[in-house]
Structure 1
Amino acid sequence: MYQYLALTSVGIEPLLADELTNLGAQTVVQKPEGVYFQGDLSLGYHVCLWSRLASRVMLKLGEGSCGNKDELYKSAMSVEWSEHFQSENTFAIDFVGKSEEIRNSQFGGLTVKDAVVDHFRDRGLIRPSVDKTATDITFQARLLKGEVCFYLDFSGRSLFRRGYRKDSGAAPLKENLAAALVTRSGWLTDTSKPLVDPMCGSGTLLIEAVSMAFKQAPSLNKKQWGFSYWQGHDDELYQAQLLDAKQKTASFKPDHDIKVFGLDLDSRVLKTAQQNARLANFAHHIDFQCTDASKMTNRYEQAGTILFNPPYGERIGDLPELVETFAALGQVFKQQFADWRVAVFTASTELLSLLKLASFKRYKLKNGPLDCQLALYNLDEKQLSKGGSSGEQAFAEQDSAFANRLKKNIKQLKKWVKKEEIACYRVYDADIPEYNAAIDIYNDHLVIQEYAAPANIPEDKTAKRIQEVIYWAPKVLGIETSKVSLKMRRKQKGSNQYQRVATEQRTMIVEEYGAKLIVNIWDYLDTGLFLDHRKTRQIVASKARNKNVLNLFAYTGSVSLQVALHGASAVTTVDMSNTYLNWAKENFALNNLDGNQYEFVQADCLQWLKQAKDNFDLIFIDPPTFSNSKRMDNTFDVQRDHVAVITDALNCLSEGGEIIFTNNKRNFKMDFDQIETLGLVAKNISDQTRDMDFKRNVHIHNSWSIKRK
């Protein structure tokens, strides 16, 4: 009798325990790390061929104490490794777990590896080679509560891979997780009823569902097994199990038609799903249709199950469209799918409230590193009585303080925007504290920046409010949801002010008072253009004609660009980031500005300023509030260090020159005593530098004109 351990994803363990029992396993014990069971070698092969829910099946070889490295080594030496594989076979060791003495998996794995090769050497055998990429046989050591167990990776890695999925969408489900979701949805109790996935992606849920309905052995086509080079492998016994699995799979004929339906808005992904269905030999049983989930209609002859896994997690760019879709889906379900079962699997559980349905069961699972839930709903008479006439029922416009405020704001800004011919501007900036977001328009696109909510506000309330913002902003402003970019802005403690949030690598061109500028509203928290400094740029530019101008902490060079266009004789642009400096160069090239009078310097601005030898007539300084970039020798705090920066700037300021100093620190206080000691006069020009769309936010930035007395 062998002892086995079946591994799977978090949340699937109860289903896996039931599956193993049904497959004939004995002494089945479910634990957090997996499901333990016993059986003979024939059962091990049987489980490998038939389990849909396991990701790996391990066979126990030995165990021992593991209080420290020496005990681990001794325990590993107690295993007769040469009875399990031969010297000419390559091997690998996976180590799972840690303790105070064994602090990382690499250390534990090396210790076990040393014991394995020493075992062969002590018996006068050739030392086997380690190969983690093309290994013949893999072992796993699992450390738990001071004890270590050694296993043969019996099935081999990725047991969940069926072989039909050549391509997948952006965030595919593993096949064993898909099988678990199908099981939990309840559809398998009557597979004559329709199963619909309105966001089917690459089709994994549907393909798994059909395969389960046809009672197929999922791993019939697996070519590489973990036991292939194991010396205890009985190929005759395995071939018998394989033949039996093939015969049972081929002979099963359901007594009813099985038809499932996949919908997706992305025609390219749908082609992938169709290809995967063909490879799985289920193309005739899956009906794919390219359509928007929120526009789905009940074209099915009887009530069934709707099961889907919407985009979520890192795919946050999809959220604006998902909010609108979910708000509409709740109404579609109520109006057209009476008596159906709905099952939604998502990490963005706050979206579920938009359905306006009451779930009767929720299961917690993991999809990779993401905490997820599978929510089940029965569209019975009680649910349908909560209905409404449109998707807007989820957020009643007349009751939305946010929607009303946004309408008021855009009405006030309309004439000003038209008169100034401004393409990029702010329409809302946390005007109502409960709706803690900033909303900017860039041409015909919308950027919603969600600020971190105060700690005393529950997460579910925060999520509902941002959903309301996402839902109403594009509607009130007349912008397509596909042109909405959502960003999460957090206070950056001890880090750089610019953070990458996506990798779309898309840009767009906007215009500001005759200047063309490249912005990226998708990839970074900041877009490449600080809208609150629009007026500041014009004030600096108006002073620049025939002057030598220095722009420090230049970011993407928008100030440099404006002064160059306004006739500066020379412009020096300094920033630590090559990314943003290259962006500044592209802005200049876009405006046909070229020549030796435009210099771009990649350097730590603070250090560069101390060594600057040129004299500048106009110096613009817009430092971060705080920075401890790895490229800097020390940290920088604008409140603490602003006098030092101004002192260094003074050394390269020409007679009669001017420093424009600005920053975004709330409640910043200029040290007038120190400034006076330097023989300078600092004049607060903050009110002059705030344009109409930032009049409300007096703390958005503060600006100073500094000159010699």
Structure 2
Amino acid sequence: MEHNILVTTAKGLDQLLFTEIQAICPNASLKQTPGGVYVSGEIADAYQICLWSRLANRVLWLLTHAPAANEQELYNAANAIDWPAQFHFASDFMVQFNGTTKAINNTQFGALRIKDGIVDRFVEDGTSRPSVSKLSPAITIHARLHRDEVLIAIDLSGKSLHQRHYREDTGEAPLKEHVAAAMLYRSGFTKAITEFDSVALLDPMCGSGTIAIEAASMAANIAPGLAREKWGFDAWLGHHKSLWHDLKTAALAAQKSHQHRIFANDIDRNLVRIAKANADNAGVFASIQFSQKDASKLTLPVELPLDETGMATTPAFIVSNPPYGERLGELATLLPMFNTLGDHLKVAFAGWSVSLLSSNRELLRQIRLRSKKEYAMNNGKLECKLVNYALDSANCEQIAQHSGQQDFANRLKKNLKKLKPFIKRAQTNAYRIYDADLPDYNCAIDRLDDWLVVQEYAPPKDIPPEKARRRIHDVLLQLPIITGVDTKKIAVKVREQQKGAKQYQKVNDQQNRITVFEHGAEFYVNPTDYLDTGLFLDHRQTRQLFKAEAQGKHVLNLFAYTGSVSVHAAKGGAASVTTVDMSNTYLDWAKDNFSLNRLRGAYDFIQADCVEWMKRNHKKFDLIFLDPPSFSNSKRMSGTWDVQRDHVSIIRCAVESLQPYGVIYFSNNLRSFKLADTELSEMGLAIENISAQTLPEDFQRNPKIHQCWRLTKC
């Protein structure tokens, strides 16, 4: 084989790894490959990479590169290797297999055939069969299948080299050590510490301290593999113990003191504690100054003279892995934070270089800095960008606010001003303040007591995802400023066409149940955990009309959801209220709403398929509320439900359960819905379209939010 070593790394770091290995092994021949570097060198080169590479995951000593078009060839490739010359039969081993072909399309099967070839070779050579261990094997064998060829190697590194063994604990979504090292390389810090005697580095959101620890290790020239106690070559018969000892001794002697200043800060006291412990384990605690403060208020005791461009004459770097906001609900908090952070950096850290890693490029745009360079790299499975900025004079000038963002802000202010009289007389703290008023900002915003719920409508296919994401970011940035609502109390959801029970399924599990009120009734709502919050605000007027007719009546609420109509009917003096829904969760919620309003009486709660229940029902009612979903294919139903197709049949059943001169309130929110007037008239129903009467003032901008009819049995 032309090359006898393969060094692997994370996606996006192979070019950096190539440059690093050039420095570690100056006499070796190298070839870059996606996700790694091939090396033609001596065992000393492999050892040096194990000791000194800050970017590598694994160092593989290649044994063969052979044809493997089928399982027999795969077996032959493994069996042809002189395995007793590689490890003793008393050493257990494990096979890690990557890649598939048409003939070998299962990695477990591929690993099994490699294992068979290995153990059979031991038996053929007259020794005992070695044992297989999947937990902590003495020898790890790597097999990589690609285009009907297999590469088989001994893993000299053992566990991945990114594991430096100084992290006893981490926070959520910890940054891997080799990715932190790559960030330091790309930021310019690694080069700067070789050219300047005093370089400053700050991680203002340090988490468990990985970036600062890696930086301090670089500054002190501490070989990242020096502290590792167990290696993949410990039981390998090709291991040169004396050479390894000499290289470790030389690495230990190469450590040095330095004058570089490294700072690590986090707002979370517990994370700072973890970072300190990790730094102590890494032997660099004394090299790092730790603090616990909000990053947007952080200052450092560092004075840096600036050149004519506004950059520091002595290099200073901010390198950080801030939160990404992968979950939509986190953005309401993160967007203002980044906006404030950007302003603070321009004032408190003028002249510094900034490097931020994020999977959310739009989030980084909120700091309003012009980027200098971007690099793609993965943090675990997340595809990220490391973005470099220079806080020079030009970049520290305030960049004007996005005009569209200002358009949204102006419209929201206008809406709130217009709604003030309505809010005072509406006797409610739950209402809509914005409903896709501007085409570019296609969302609905509801106020629920001291919470805001933002429902982002799924954008049309012709709108690029990044543009749609930027618009919702504008909304989330302006909301806390204009409304005064805490960012932690802004819930964000994506609203698209839902079928079946999806509209009622959980989207979160924060259990943020709060109480809202309207017209003398109180209701539990949950702003975060479901697509709908538990109270349909557009039916506020409908509930009042229904309540006005409930006095002394026997009332049925079908497809009842959380029972808000039932509560108003009971408070309106209904003789009895029957609440029917398919979901036990929402029936329990309805019961809680009755308890909240201290309602006790002839109130029944029935869990059932509403369609089937109506077919079997023999009880008579005076007043029925019927607000079915547009479509449902729930497993609890005997069939599917389509409101356009099935509304006549459900209303017919309701009529059969209705007393003479009884009333049905029928409503739905299917925009294309057409009522079957003729068929309903033939049932003896007087039809009155009351949609306009049931539209609350805060929904006037969206008159098609629902349609509603009052049907009277003649």
Q: Does the TM-score normalized on the shorter chain lie above 0.5?
A: yes
**CA-to-aligned-CA distance 1:518-554 (integer Å, 9 cap, x gap):** 3222233322322222233333344444444444433
Q: Report the CA distance between 1:619 and its aligned residue.
A: 3.7
CA–CA distance in structure 2, aligned partners of residues 557 and 116 of structure 1: 67
CA spacing shift, 1:326–1:581, aligned 2, 3 Å = same
Q: Could you tell me which of 693, 705, 714 is aligned with 1:688?
A: 693
Aligned partner of residue 488 in structure 1, secondary structure: strand
Q: Could you tell me which of 668, 675, 683 is aligned with 2:680?
A: 675
Counterpart position of 2:401:
394
CA spacing shift, 1:667–1:203, aligned 2, 3 Å = same
Counterpart position of 1:208:
214
Q: Report the CA distance between 1:696 and its aligned residue.
A: 1.3
Counterpart residue identity of residue 51, structure 1: S
CA spacing shift, 1:470–1:284, aligned 2, 3 Å = same
Maintained 8 Å contact 1:425/1:531: yes
Counterpart position of 1:375:
387
Maintained 8 Å contact 1:628/1:635: yes
Aligned partner of residue 587 in structure 1, secondary structure: helix
Q: Could you tell me which of 552, 561, 581 is aligned with 1:555?
A: 561
Maintained 8 Å contact 2:577/2:602: no
Q: Does 1:328 align with 2:340?
A: yes
Q: Could you tell me which of 349, 362, 368 is aligned with 1:356?
A: 368
Aligned partner of residue 686 in structure 1, secondary structure: coil
Which stretch shows the higher mean deviation, 697-706 or 78-87?
Answer: 78-87
CA–CA distance in structure 1, aligned partners of residues 652 and 155 of structure 2: 67
Counterpart residue identity of residue 178, structure 1: A
Q: Report the CA distance between 1:693 and its aligned residue.
A: 0.8
In the TM superposition, what are the counterparts of 1:445-460 in structure 2 within 5 Å?
Answer: 445-460=451-466
Which stretch shows the higher mean deviation, 696-705 or 453-462?
Answer: 453-462
Counterpart position of 1:525:
531
CA–CA distance in structure 1, aligned partners of residues 139 and 584 of structure 2: 47
CA–CA distance in structure 2, aligned partners of residues 93 and 594 of structure 1: 68
CA–CA distance in structure 1, aligned partners of residues 626 and 525 of structure 2: 21
Counterpart position of 1:479:
485
Counterpart position of 2:645:
640
In the TM superposition, what are the counterparts of 1:225-374 in structure 2 within 5 Å?
Answer: 225-249=231-255, 252-254=256-258, 257-297=259-299, 299-302=301-304, 303=312, 304-374=316-386
Q: Report the CA distance between 1:176 and its aligned residue.
A: 0.8
Maintained 8 Å contact 1:364/1:372: yes
Counterpart residue identity of residue 253, structure 1: S
Q: Provide structure 2 residue ranges, at least 5 long, that are not aligned to the other structure.
A: 305-311
CA–CA distance in structure 2, aligned partners of residues 197 and 674 of structure 1: 71
Maintained 8 Å contact 1:313/1:370: no
Counterpart position of 1:428:
434
Aligned partner of residue 395 in structure 2, secondary structure: helix
CA–CA distance in structure 2, aligned partners of residues 530 and 117 of structure 1: 67
CA–CA distance in structure 1, aligned partners of residues 402 and 105 of structure 2: 51
> Taking every aligned residue pair, what percent have the same amino acid on both sides?
46
Aligned partner of residue 394 in structure 1, secondary structure: coil
Aligned partner of residue 366 in structure 1, secondary structure: strand
**CA-to-aligned-CA distance 1:234-283 (integer Å, 9 cap, x gap):** 5454444434433333xx222xx222223333333333323333333333
CA spacing shift, 1:411–1:567, aligned 2, 3 Å = same
CA spacing shift, 1:517–1:495, aligned 2, 3 Å = closer
In the TM superposition, what are the counterparts of 1:65-80 in structure 2 within 5 Å?
Answer: 65-80=67-82
CA–CA distance in structure 2, aligned partners of residues 656 and 71 of structure 1: 84
CA–CA distance in structure 2, aligned partners of residues 492 and 33 of structure 1: 41
Counterpart position of 2:307:
none
Aligned partner of residue 95 in structure 1, secondary structure: strand
In the TM superposition, what are the counterparts of 1:410-429 in structure 2 within 5 Å?
Answer: 410-429=416-435
Aligned partner of residue 178 in structure 2, secondary structure: helix
Maintained 8 Å contact 2:96/2:111: yes
Which stretch shows the higher mean deviation, 186-195 or 655-664?
Answer: 655-664
CA spacing shift, 1:579–1:599, aligned 2, 3 Å = closer
Maintained 8 Å contact 1:554/1:575: yes
Maintained 8 Å contact 2:587/2:605: no
Over the residues paired in the alignment, what is the CA RMSD in angstroms? 3.2
Larger Rg: 2
In the TM superposition, what are the counterparts of 1:74-93 in structure 2 within 5 Å?
Answer: 74-81=76-83, 84-85=86-87, 90-93=92-95
Which stretch shows the higher mean deviation, 147-156 or 536-545?
Answer: 536-545
In the TM superposition, what are the counterparts of 1:480-559 in structure 2 within 5 Å?
Answer: 480-492=486-498, 496-559=502-565
Q: Report the CA distance between 1:181 and its aligned residue.
A: 0.5
Counterpart position of 2:664:
659
CA–CA distance in structure 2, aligned partners of residues 116 and 636 of structure 1: 60
Maintained 8 Å contact 1:56/1:153: yes
Counterpart position of 2:32:
30
Q: Provide structure 1 residue ranges, at least 5 long, that are not aligned to the other structure.
A: none
CA–CA distance in structure 2, aligned partners of residues 125 and 454 of structure 1: 68
CA–CA distance in structure 2, aligned partners of residues 706 and 116 of structure 1: 80
Q: Report the CA distance between 1:363 and its aligned residue.
A: 0.6
Maintained 8 Å contact 1:28/1:37: yes
Aligned partner of residue 62 in structure 1, secondary structure: strand
Counterpart position of 2:22:
21
Which stretch shows the higher mean deviation, 330-339 or 167-176?
Answer: 330-339
Maintained 8 Å contact 1:447/1:484: yes
Maintained 8 Å contact 2:65/2:151: yes
Counterpart residue identity of residue 257, structure 2: K
CA–CA distance in structure 2, aligned partners of residues 19 and 444 of structure 1: 54
CA spacing shift, 1:522–1:658, aligned 2, 3 Å = same
Q: TM-score, normalised by structure 2?
A: 0.88
Maintained 8 Å contact 1:643/1:671: yes
Aligned partner of residue 505 in structure 1, secondary structure: coil
CA spacing shift, 1:693–1:41, aligned 2, 3 Å = same
Aligned partner of residue 371 in structure 2, secondary structure: coil
CA–CA distance in structure 2, aligned partners of residues 647 and 79 of structure 1: 80
Aligned partner of residue 565 in structure 2, secondary structure: helix
Counterpart position of 1:7:
8
CA–CA distance in structure 2, aligned partners of residues 90 and 247 of structure 1: 35
CA–CA distance in structure 2, aligned partners of residues 649 and 620 of structure 1: 10
Aligned partner of residue 668 in structure 1, secondary structure: coil
Maintained 8 Å contact 2:576/2:601: no
**CA-to-aligned-CA distance 1:154-193 (integer Å, 9 cap, x gap):** 3233321222222222222111111100111112233422
Maintained 8 Å contact 2:426/2:518: no
Counterpart position of 1:39:
41
CA–CA distance in structure 1, aligned partners of residues 123 and 676 of structure 2: 74
Q: Report the CA distance between 1:434 and its aligned residue.
A: 1.0
Aligned partner of residue 423 in structure 2, secondary structure: helix
Counterpart position of 2:309:
none
Q: TM-score, normalised by structure 1?
A: 0.89
CA spacing shift, 1:132–1:544, aligned 2, 3 Å = farther
Q: Report the CA distance between 1:677 and its aligned residue.
A: 4.8
Q: Report the CA distance between 1:425 and its aligned residue.
A: 1.0
Counterpart position of 2:165:
163
CA–CA distance in structure 1, aligned partners of residues 331 and 696 of structure 2: 31
Maintained 8 Å contact 1:497/1:624: no
CA–CA distance in structure 2, aligned partners of residues 210 and 258 of structure 1: 8
CA–CA distance in structure 1, aligned partners of residues 614 and 495 of structure 2: 31
CA–CA distance in structure 2, aligned partners of residues 102 and 459 of structure 1: 38
CA spacing shift, 1:187–1:652, aligned 2, 3 Å = same
Aligned partner of residue 386 in structure 2, secondary structure: strand
Counterpart position of 1:462:
468
Maintained 8 Å contact 1:182/1:188: yes
**CA-to-aligned-CA distance 1:96-132 (integer Å, 9 cap, x gap):** 2233444443444445455555656767766655553
Maintained 8 Å contact 1:495/1:627: yes
Counterpart residue identity of residue 17, structure 1: F
CA spacing shift, 1:546–1:28, aligned 2, 3 Å = farther
Aligned partner of residue 675 in structure 1, secondary structure: helix
Aligned partner of residue 360 in structure 1, secondary structure: strand
CA–CA distance in structure 2, aligned partners of residues 536 and 205 of structure 1: 58
